[in-house]
Amino acid sequence: KMLRVGDGDAPPGLELGLRQLQNGTKCVVRAESRFAFGDAGRPASAEQGTRAVPPDADVEWRIEAHRLWYKEADEAMTPRDQLVDARNKKELGNEHFHHENWRKAAANYQEILKGLNVWNFDEGTDDREEAETIYVDCGNNLVFALTKMDDWLKAEKAVCDVLCVAPEHKKALYRATQIALHLSKWQEAHAALTIALDKWPRNKEFRDLYETLRDHKRKYRDRKAKMSAKMSKELFAIQDADPPALDQPEPDASPAGDDPSPRRCALQ
């Protein structure tokens, strides 16, 4: 496994141990739970072949450093370097993904989408094909992780990034529709479904989403009609009401018998 120290991909105790290593070093790193997986623990993963770590458990790692190197700054990386870095980030992201650590998985996938420019590779080459595959797969996983964190707006942006690279990708279109439905963006949902059903007209999942979209739009129209009727009723009620009474003139405050008109004085 390849780790980049400082990215937060490994627990703090393991990172502290890795900082002390040299090429070829073998060692055992022991960490208290607060420097390992804390009070949350870590679920097992069949894909990664790892066992569950209980909450508040102290952990021991047996590690061997095969190779250490300093990573170049992102702006100095060649397309080939970007591809190698993306492979590493994908592996780390998938590990967090399978252990349901959505935040760390999303962080790795976001780094891939930010740093891997598929158009830097010549079309038709193996590197271009691999770059597109990594970008799309990690982008779809990023979308899923963001929805798990209820960050639907970022998920919407991520799925758009994926569709820019693979406009007819089935999983991306499916998730784009789900996100649009969640955000009540009926036109976007309809656009994604139009592409999907044109390509896979008998796909049950997309047909079910289409029925869901129709149901949401019908309920929206019903709510809008009820709201309009209520507003119209209130407006007519205001128009039919008696006009407010005019203010009565204030009573004359002058003493009885006095002439309220201004007095004229004759000058001698």
Res. 253 pLDDT band, cuts 50 70 90: low
* pLDDT beyond 50 at 26: yes
User: Which H helix or E strand runs over 80?
Assistant: helix 79-98
- State which amino acid sits at residue 199: K
Average confidence (pLDDT) over 222-227: 79
Average confidence (pLDDT) over 244-257: 56
CA dihedral (8, 11, 12, 14) positive or negative: negative
Return the SS3 of 45: strand
Give this prediction's pTM: 0.68
Res. 268 pLDDT band, cuts 50 70 90: very low
Question: Burial code of 177-212, b = ≥16 C-beta within 10 A, e = fewer?
Answer: bbbbbeeebeebbeebbebbbeeeeeeeebeebbee
Both tokens of 60, joined, read 């021991």
Can you state the angle between helices 152-165 and 102-115, rounded to 10 degrees? 40
Mind listing the pLDDT tens digit for each residue in 62-103?
888 877 665 555 566 788 888 988 998 999 899 999 999 999
Cβ pair 89, 112 in contact under 8 A: yes
Rounded CA gap, 144 and 159, in Å?
10
Mind listing the pLDDT tens digit for each residue in 194-215?
999 999 999 999 999 999 999 9
Cβ pair 113, 24 in contact under 8 A: no
* pLDDT beyond 60 at 120: yes
User: Which H helix or E strand runs over 142?
Assistant: helix 126-148
User: All domains of the chain, ordered by start, with CATH?
Assistant: 1-70 (3.10.50.40), 73-225 (1.25.40.10)
Q: What is the pLDDT of residue 175?
A: 96
User: What is the separation, in whole angstroms, between the first and last Cα of the chain?
Assistant: 119
Strand partners, 27: 63
Q: How many CB atoms lie within 10 A of CB 45?
A: 17
237 vs 256 pLDDT, higher one: 237
